[in-house]
Amino acid sequence: MPGVSEWEKARRWGQEHGDLVFVKNLVRPYIFINSYDAAVELFEKRGNNYSSRPQNTLIELEGWSQLPSQMAYGDEHRKSRQFLNRFFGPSSVTDFCELQTKVAHKLLFGLLTEPDRFEDFTRRSAGETIMMAAYGYEVSNEKDPYIALADRGVRSLSEAKGFSLVNLLPWSNLNDERLLLVRYLPEWVPGTGFHRLIKEGYKLSHAMVFEPYEATKKSMSDGTYISSVTSKLIEVNSTEDGNIADEPTIAKSAAIAYAAGADTTVSTLNTFILAMLLYPETQRRGQEELDRVIGKDILPTMEDKTNLPYINALCNEALRWQTVAPLGLAHCPTKDDVYNGYFIPAGITIYANIWAMQRDPLEYPEPEKFIPERWMPSDGKRTPLDVYKTQFGFGRRTCPGKHFAANSIFIDIASILAAFNIEMASDENGAQIIPVVDYVEGFVRHPKPFKCKITPRSDKITSTIKQAVEAIL
Ligand code: HEM
């Protein structure tokens, strides 16, 4: 098992051995589920058993297991899902459309003024939308302290999942003895950078959950707040004696929305820009559809979504082609189980290999190619497996932000294509710089930095963008 891109190795083992691959990595065993049907059977049909998360000593010690995404299944997790579903469910998420459209216009303005910094602007845009939605907080610039906090937090959590010495400890569920063992291993033990990691991780997870939450509370008492998920949850949970019911759960729910939302949609947006360079004919087809359906030099709105099948196909393919979270988040069964004659012990770490599912050649012929047309089959062919059924996970732990993410991705992609041409950049000798498809691998993947040339499609669209942004500021 390699240390990176485990999903690709597990996919290949799956082709050899079947849907379920059991791997014993030194002392920590994992199961990879390589097929959609097996994931649905275990995580959805048997959801009462497969909805918990494996606990790992370092995650626990660093305080990450308090986040709803890492919590064991139980009352607090259910409460947090209720809080999030109230705002991010399919019908309520439309309340964010205006915000998402405004942020898309700011993204266009950034691309207009400093196109070479497109990666800064896509990152800022994802952070800006979710921070405003979660806390009513206006992101100041790309170096905003809360966005930096979320970045550091996600990286630290990623490290905690993979830190080797701790992973060598027995894999069974956490118990106090193990916690004590890790906590009291002396700092001089070679290779045990984990004391530092634990301290830093704990500070980070605490800051991520409580700093933006406390700032929102303060703005509510000053009367300077902007309505948000947090302010609304505080309002409806405030009791007459001045307390806030479920206060820590409110803070944790908002924190996970911003941590999960800030680092994921940006990956799809940058993947989309990369695909436009490598598959220019898809860009032309998308622009042709926009010009025909909504008109030239006009910025799209969320209402246009249902009338733009090719743009929707581009969004689906950007999500499928380079899976954002290839293994999603691990599930674990709370009781022993048997599937197709295989014994699955309680507490084992199980990953849905979303990467493998999105590269299944029976669903997606030539899966390594970016082909939006596969989402618009003609001649009576069936539509392939909906990307939203795999990309966002499964069962009771499925991503609560998927409708929000879908809207952000649509409005950003449609607006960028309506406004700009995306082409390969040239080097000092005038030769085109052909980008390579190369990703920083982690539990969320991001394209490595690449160069491109982004230019407005007309003078008219330039002034339309400027007017749209002036209207917001
Ligand atoms: C392209 C964007 C996104 C992708 C690909 C994505 C993907 C995922 C995946 C694969 C999971 C794990 C599901 C499972 O365990 O089966 C997940 C969980 C989660 N996501 Fe997302 N996500 C995205 C955006 C968002 C956004 C915008 C939010 C915030 C509103 C969000 C909030 C969460 C939360 C809170 C969880 C934990 C759910 C739980 O453990 O109950 N995600 N996401």
322 pocket-lining for ligand 1 (C-beta < 6 Å): no
Domain ranges of the chain: 6-472
| Section 283-305 average pLDDT | 98
264 pocket-lining for ligand 1 (C-beta < 6 Å): yes
Who's near 264: CB < 8 A, 6+ residues apart?
126, 324, 325, 401, 405, 444
Who's near 462: CB < 8 A, 6+ residues apart?
112, 456
What is the CA 216 to chain-centroid distance, rounded? 24
Residue with the nearest Cα to atom 20 of ligand 1? 399
Q: Is pLDDT at 33 greater than 80 in this prediction?
A: yes
How far apart CA 299 and CA 150 sit, in angstroms, is 31
Question: Which pLDDT score is estimated for 309?
Answer: 96
Question: Which pLDDT score is estimated for 444?
Answer: 87
Start-to-end CA distance of the chain, whole Å, equals 51
Percent of the chain with pLDDT over 70: 90
Question: Which pLDDT score is estimated for 172?
Answer: 33
Residue with the nearest Cα to atom 1 of ligand 1? 265
How far apart CA 232 and CA 228 sit, in angstroms, is 6
Question: Which pLDDT score is estimated for 170?
Answer: 38
CA of 51 relative to ligand 1 center, distance in Å: 14
The more confident residue out of 194 and 357 is 357
User: Is residue 134 classed exposed, middle or buried when 0-12, 13-18 and 19+ CB atoms within 10 A define those classes?
Assistant: buried
Q: Is pLDDT at 190 greater than 70 in this prediction?
A: no
Q: Is pLDDT at 161 greater than 60 in this prediction?
A: no
C-alpha distance from residue 457 to each of 266, 291, 420 (Å):
23, 11, 5
| Section 275-292 average pLDDT | 98
Question: Which pLDDT score is estimated for 169?
Answer: 40
Nearest to 448 by CA among 119, 117, 110, 126: 119
Phi, psi (deg, nearest 5) at residue 456: -65, 145
Q: How confident is the model at residue 269 (pLDDT cuts 50, 70, 90)?
A: very high
Q: How confident is the model at residue 166 (pLDDT cuts 50, 70, 90)?
A: very low
How far apart CA 151 and CA 147 sit, in angstroms, is 6
260 pocket-lining for ligand 1 (C-beta < 6 Å): yes
Retrieve residue 6's tokens.
Answer: 């485990």
- Tell me the pLDDT of the chain averaged across its residues: 90
> What atom in ligand 1 is closest to the CA of residue 77?
41
461 pocket-lining for ligand 1 (C-beta < 6 Å): no
Contact between residue 267 and residue 439 where contact means Cβ atoms under 8 Å apart:
no
Question: Which pLDDT score is estimated for 8?
Answer: 93
Say which CATH architecture domain 6-472 belongs to. Orthogonal Bundle (1.10)
| Section 221-250 average pLDDT | 96
Q: How confident is the model at residue 369 (pLDDT cuts 50, 70, 90)?
A: very high
Question: What are the start-end ranges of the H helices in 67-144?
Answer: 75-88, 97-113, 118-135
Q: Is pLDDT at 127 greater than 60 in this prediction?
A: yes
Dihedral over alpha carbons 101, 103, 107, 110 (to 10 degrees): 130
Q: Which of 158-167, 280-289, 346-355, 405-414 has the lowest mean pLDDT?
A: 158-167
Retrieve residue 127's tokens.
Answer: 């952070």
Q: Is pLDDT at 254 greater than 90 in this prediction?
A: yes
**Binding site for heme: residue ranges?**
399
Question: Which pLDDT score is estimated for 167?
Answer: 42
Phi, psi (deg, nearest 5) at residue 186: -65, 150
- Adjacent-strand bridge partners of 447: 439
| Section 135-148 average pLDDT | 85
Angle between the 229-237 and 247-278 helix axes, to the nearest 10 degrees?
Answer: 160
How far apart CA 150 and CA 316 sit, in angstroms, is 26
268 pocket-lining for ligand 1 (C-beta < 6 Å): yes
Pocket test for ligand 1, best of 392, 397, 410, 446 (most atoms within 8 A of CB): 392
